[in-house]
Amino acid sequence: MSQTGGQSVRTRPAGSARALSEAYDTALLDLDGVVYAGGHAIAHAVDSLETARSGGMHLAYVTNNALRTPQAVAEHLTELGIPAEPSDVITSAQAVARLMSDQLPAGARVLVVGGEGLRVALRERGLEPVESADDAPVAVVQGFGGPELPWGRFAEACYAIARGVPWFASNTDLTIPSARGIAPGNGAAVEVVRIATGAEPQVAGKPLPPMHRETILRTGAERPLVVGDRLDTDIEGAFNGGVDSLLVLTGVTDGAALLAARPEHRPTYVDADLRGLLGGQPEVEPAEGGFACGGWSASVRGDALAVEGEGAALDGLRALCAVAWSEAGEGTCGLDGEKALARLGL
């Protein structure tokens, strides 16, 4: 680790002699790509989470998706074999509702462009959802509304924003995974309103501080570990919150993206899936010409990354991360890692 501007710049994944489920009191788990995908539990998720919970780790589920209520999310998790209560679920709808309630008077009318999760969160914070710009709203809030959200909702938001009311957004994820592939997320919908109005919303969701604040307030975590699959939301959110993170490779991030990660996108730990919670993490050590982890050593050869050895492919990836991040420093690594990743089968 090095220092720049008061922030630590991670130059290699960390090791842990203790199981992560013992070293941290709370796992702040992303859902899509971590716990489930396309409505089905990801391999090893159910058993891993049950083992972590039975060992005393508190599990909290943190999602940028503002469409569903915590009750609906908890019911879905329970159906998958992961017992959960609504209080275990934290959504960007809750984070944006708190952000708004800090700025608006109790009972204020808010024009909602989104789904039931957003309306429920607003009511919990003492705000009144309305449907039209002609209902005298004092603010506009936008959250993911699903594929059936009518186009006219964007027009209502634009009319109200043009009259000068503040605009809030639960999150700005451009995409969202679905059973059929990648679909437009709330960020894409936010761009529609941004283009039409020229305005800028206040955003609450990951990776921004309001979401981390909401999560800590609701969980009471003292030693939290963020667990996610996305560098630009989960891992950057952990970085912004000053807490450790575990990247699992069951979602959108692949080896190439990890090697090219900027400082705020570099996770503390890297593992294949949620089984990574149940054990320690291997140390990545300096070695001649580079770094070593397990049975692998990594180095720079010309304008490319190279890896040699044998053993668990993840150890080779960890060693490659150390070389790439050390070479990049405060920037991104431009060295070619394609052959090295292919050598690991990644």
**Which of the residues are catalytic?**
30, 32
| SS3 annotation, the chain | CEEECCEEECCCCCCECCCHHHHCCEEEECCECCCEECCEECCCHHHHHHHHHHCCCEEEEEECCCCCCHHHHHHHHHHCCCCCCHHHEEEHHHHHHHHHHCCCCCCCEEEEECCHHHHHHHHHCCCEEECCHHHCCCEEEECCCCCCCCCHHHHHHHHHHHCCCCEEECCCCCEEEECCEEEECHHHHHHHHHHHHCCCCEECCCCCHHHHHHHHHHHCCCCEEEEECCHHHHHHHHHHHCCEEEEECCCCCCHHHHHCCCHHHCCCEEECCHHHHHCCECCCEEECCEEEECCEEEEEECCEEEEEECCCHHHHHHHHHHHHHHHHCCCCCCCECHHHHHHHCC
